Amino acid sequence: MEGNLSPDAITSNLETRFIGQRVIYYSRLTSTNEVAKQEAQAGAVEGTVVIAGKQTMGKGRRKRVWLSPKGNIALSVILYPDIAKLPSLIMLASLAVVRSIKAVTGLVAQIKWPNDVLINGKKVCGILIESNMLGDTVDYAVIGIGVNVNLSPSDFPEISSTATSLSNELGGEVSLLGLIRRLLVEIERLYLALLAGGTIYEEWRDGLVTLGKEVRVASGKTIYEGMAESVARDGSLLLRCSDGSLSKIVAGNVITYD
Ligand code: BTN
């Protein structure tokens, strides 16, 4: 299966203009985000994708480890957006994953704010966006996407109660190559829409499973509790607290549902 992930197999007749037209593939790598950041610093063309058969030090959000064995997707896409588009990358990445999962498997996934992708309440995909600024301009942004595709969660006790995979939901293997190619197409569609001045905010908001729920959110050292009322156009979460006040949370992690 891994042989299918050669750069040629990924790029051949890929219906994109630039996303995934250059692919750097490693069968085993520490972290695709780390290598993508080095490639971006060295001036890689926009849309370059770094992809790994497996990662040995996959990075999660909030300094967590991301489990990334063979059979899953671990890839990072290099972009050079202007600063105004940066907050939308969170929306773009999760929407591209939801769309491609639906197209390839028929499964309906939801987004847990800000950008975890869930199926039946369990995490199937994590997204880590890292960017570097030079003054007021974006030097580069790297969108790192990890999707549990052909993984048996019960083989990994550390995630077995919280994670799922596409094969687990479907009861059969899923084509990694097919899903990767579709993901690259969806990323480009959404990115071109953004560049053309369109908005992807409404589709992202409507895909959020978090809204309308009582949540606890860890943001830095602060814990917020309240009703997830809405999201702002910049992607931040609007939380109605028990005293009636509205907190705007720019970055955080939803840690429990009541
Ligand atoms: C999270 O949910 O905590 C984010 C997980 C992000 C994992 C992906 S896998 C590809 C890319 N390379 C990394 O080291 N991390 C991201």
Do residue 236 and residue 130 come from a single domain?
no
Best residue for ligand 1 mutational test, from 24, 25, 29, 33 (most atoms within 8 Å of Cβ): 33
CA–CA distance, 30 with 91 (Å, rounded to integer): 26
For residue 104, tell me if it sits in a domain: yes
Buried b (16+ CB within 10 A) or exposed e, 170-199: eeeebbbeebbbbbbbbbbbbbeebeeeee
Cβ–ligand 1 contact at 68 (below 6 Å): yes
Do residue 137 and residue 240 come from a single domain?
no
Q: What is the DSSP letter of 15?
A: S
Best residue for ligand 1 mutational test, from 29, 67, 128 (most atoms within 8 Å of Cβ): 128
The answer to whether residues 74 and 52 touch, using CB atoms and an 8 Å cutoff, is: yes
> Residue 1 has what pLDDT?
41
Do residue 197 and residue 215 come from a single domain?
no
Amino acid occupying residue 167 = S
Do residue 150 and residue 218 come from a single domain?
no
> Is residue 233's pLDDT more than 60?
yes
Residue 115 structural domain: 7-205
Q: How confident is the model at residue 18 (pLDDT cuts 50, 70, 90)?
A: very high
For residue 187, tell me if it sits in a domain: yes
Nearest Cα neighbor of 247 from 112, 208, 225, 255 is 225
Final residue in a domain of this structure, among 162, 184, 205: 205
Q: What is the 3-state secondary structure (H, E, C) of 230-255?
A: EECCCCCEEEECCCCCEEEECCCEEE
Residue 178 φ/ψ region, left for φ over 0, alpha for ψ in the -120 to 50 degree band, beta for the rest: alpha
For residue 247, tell me if it sits in a domain: yes
> Is residue 3's pLDDT more than 60?
no
Do residue 170 and residue 236 come from a single domain?
no
> Residue 103 has what pLDDT?
98
For residue 17, tell me if it sits in a domain: yes
Percentage of the chain exceeding pLDDT 90: 83
CA–CA distance, 103 with 178 (Å, rounded to integer): 10
For residue 1, tell me if it sits in a domain: no
Q: What is the pLDDT of residues 37-48, one digit of tens each?
A: 999 999 999 999
The answer to whether residues 160 and 153 touch, using CB atoms and an 8 Å cutoff, is: yes
Percentage of the chain exceeding pLDDT 70: 98
Do residue 188 and residue 224 come from a single domain?
no
Final residue in a domain of this structure, among 205, 224, 248: 205
Cβ–ligand 1 contact at 32 (below 6 Å): yes
Higher pLDDT, 56 or 223: 56
Centroid of ligand 1 to alpha carbon of 14 (angstroms): 24
Average pLDDT score over residue span 199-218 = 91
Do residue 87 and residue 123 come from a single domain?
yes
> Is residue 219's pLDDT more than 90?
no
Do residue 48 and residue 167 come from a single domain?
yes
For residue 217, tell me if it sits in a domain: yes
Centroid of ligand 1 to alpha carbon of 34 (angstroms): 10
Number of domains in the chain: 2
Residue 130 φ/ψ region, left for φ over 0, alpha for ψ in the -120 to 50 degree band, beta for the rest: beta
Mean pLDDT score of the chain: 93
Cβ–ligand 1 contact at 114 (below 6 Å): no
Final residue in a domain of this structure, among 205, 221, 236: 205
Centroid of ligand 1 to alpha carbon of 64 (angstroms): 9
CATH of residue 233's domain is 2.30.30.100
> Is residue 192's pLDDT more than 70?
yes
Higher pLDDT, 225 or 107: 107
> Residue 40 has what pLDDT?
98
> Residue 62 has what pLDDT?
84
> Is residue 173's pLDDT more than 70?
yes
> Is residue 185's pLDDT more than 70?
yes
Average pLDDT score over residue span 166-170 = 97
Residues 6 or more apart whose Cβ sits within 8 Å of residue 236: 248, 249, 250
Q: How confident is the model at residue 2 (pLDDT cuts 50, 70, 90)?
A: very low
For residue 2, tell me if it sits in a domain: no
Lowest mean pLDDT among 77-81, 168-172, 221-225: 221-225
Best residue for ligand 1 mutational test, from 66, 162, 253 (most atoms within 8 Å of Cβ): 66
CATH of residue 166's domain is 3.30.930.10
> Residue 220 has what pLDDT?
83
> Is residue 258's pLDDT more than 70?
no
> Residue 256 has what pLDDT?
62
Do residue 200 and residue 221 come from a single domain?
no
> Residue 257 has what pLDDT?
56
Cβ–ligand 1 contact at 33 (below 6 Å): yes
Cβ–ligand 1 contact at 69 (below 6 Å): no
